[in-house]
Amino acid sequence: MSAKIGEFRNVKSLFAADRKETEELLIRATRDIPFEPVEGDGAIVRDRYGNEYLDFHSFVGTANVGHGRIPVLWQPGKILNALPNDFLSVPARQLAEKLIQITPIRGDKKKVLFRSSGTQAVEAALKLSMAHHHFNPRESQSPFCIGHFTNSFHGRTLGSLSITDSKREIRRKYFPVLDWVLYVPIPFPQCFEIRGVIPENASHDRCWNSWHEELERTNPGFMERVHELHVLFMELVQGEGGINPICPRVLDYFAGECAKEGVVIVVDEVQTGIGRTGEMFACDAYGFKPDIITMAKSLALGMPLSAVVANIEYDEDGLDADTFGGFTLAAQVALSVLDAVPIELERLKQENSFQIIEQVLSGFDRTLVRDVRGLGMMFGFDIEGVRGDARRQLIDRSLEQGLVLIGAGRNAIRVMPPLAITKEELEMGLDIMENVIQKLS
């Protein structure tokens, strides 16, 4: 018999035994959240001891359309579960056609490259950018110059890790990775005015001035040297870095300068894409069209599938390959996901769920909660002021009440429920969080 949310059955001792056994078998990658989910439905997940939880992070953004909502497509004897890139694939072709149709890329010659994970998509985007440079060389610029932002996260393989700033403790052990590449870290221009929607006709003077001062302090004269870049990687809302929306005015500046100087812009939508920000892509929310977009995580509901959609010139022959990129089963799941996302987004808009999450979070106790920010169903806030690790206490005590949260950045809480969440479930999760915060203050 399952224990409903709020009727939590304490399984700490059981989980401790499970964790000990797991640590004897697996190299530990990240800090464990102390529960072991086995099944789910929409925004509800259950552990193997019968407890029910509200998922408020969509398993780090991999389950945007909700748990258990896409039918299992496995049909023994009828569907090829894997089809390497050497062969033509109808589902992969259909998915590429769909992505070309919906992805906001500059120009009209889009093509798609399938990979198996977010970091592989970023690696592929790096290769595409380098190939584009060789196809269209700028003789005066050498070595190859990559711009990226502070607090960024683009992956943990060696190429993507080299432009990842939010995991410095990891990068220090391996960096510099590509010693023939010049990396240019740029202060991230966080916008302080984006809470739910991007304000229309706002000057964004505060975030522009703050960013410009920091840029001149850390990289003086950079605005006169944008032309030295070959490619600029960015997240429009940083995920692992702390849920930080980019300042629209700074984004417009880079869009103009990079287009003028021939600098390729890559937007990493691995966490923001597939409906997370209230639109299919964060680029849609900002009205921005880059040269390349990467996506993964929720594209195939956590199955190993990522995609790069690009509109740049390059020599395609033998550029890159991935045995399982765009494999049949994952491509079919992705097609179902892309059909489901617009339906869920429209329902959330009708239920005013985007406004509810912003209004409730903004009303939290200001002695602990700072800087509520975000778009759609991707919000964050900083928590501080309690003796000890305030964020850890909030996560642990919320879990005891049946609410699953995770952190981001140095001291932020990430609020990213599945798009399938009902209005009642959303309000219940926010109530649990608010009650825990009140008890901590």
Q: Do 132 and 152 reside in the same domain of the chain?
A: yes
Strand partners, 111: 310
Q: What CATH code is carried by the domain that includes residue 297?
A: 3.40.640.10
Q: Do 332 and 403 reside in the same domain of the chain?
A: no
Last residue of a domain, one of 300, 326, 343: 343
Show the tokens assigned to 357. 């999450």
Q: Do 262 and 337 reside in the same domain of the chain?
A: yes
Q: What CATH code is carried by the domain that includes residue 387?
A: 3.90.1150.10
- pLDDT tens, per residue, the chain with 441 residues: 456 776 656 666 666 777 777 777 877 666 667 778 889 999 999 988 888 999 999 998 999 999 987 766 656 655 655 666 666 788 899 999 999 999 999 988 899 999 999 999 999 999 999 888 877 766 555 678 999 999 999 998 888 988 988 877 776 776 656 666 778 889 999 887 777 777 776 778 889 999 999 999 999 999 998 988 999 999 999 999 999 999 999 999 999 999 999 999 999 999 999 999 999 999 999 999 999 999 999 999 988 999 999 997 765 655 677 888 888 889 999 999 999 999 999 999 999 999 999 999 999 988 889 999 999 999 999 998 656 688 999 999 999 899 999 999 989 999 999 999 999 999 999 999 999 999 987
Q: What is the dihedral of CA 18, 425, 60, 348, to 10 degrees?
A: 160
Q: Name the pTM for this structure.
A: 0.92
Question: Is residue 196 in a domain?
Answer: yes
Question: Is residue 76 in a domain?
Answer: no
Backbone angles phi, psi at 40, to 5 degrees: -165, 165
Q: Kindly tell me the burial class for residue 31, based on how many C-beta atoms sit within 10 Å of its own C-beta (0-12, 13-18, 19 or more).
A: exposed
Question: Is residue 245 in a domain?
Answer: yes
Task: Give the count of alpha carbons within 13 A of 23, CB side only.
Answer: 9
Residues 6+ positions from 169 with CB-CB distance below 8 Å:
none
pLDDT at position 322, please?
Answer: 82
CA-CA distances (angstroms) from residue 431 to 199, 404, 423, 428? 27, 13, 12, 5
Domain that holds residue 404: 12-62+352-440
When divided into structural domains, the chain yields a total of 2
Q: Which of 57, 160, 71, 144 is nearest to 408 (CA)?
A: 57
pLDDT at position 318, please?
Answer: 59
Strands, E assignment, 93-240: 111-115, 144-149, 181-186, 195-196, 231-234, 237-238
Q: Do 258 and 394 reside in the same domain of the chain?
A: no
Question: Is residue 320 in a domain?
Answer: yes
Q: Do 434 and 358 reside in the same domain of the chain?
A: yes
Residues 6+ positions from 81 with CB-CB distance below 8 Å:
74, 327, 328, 329
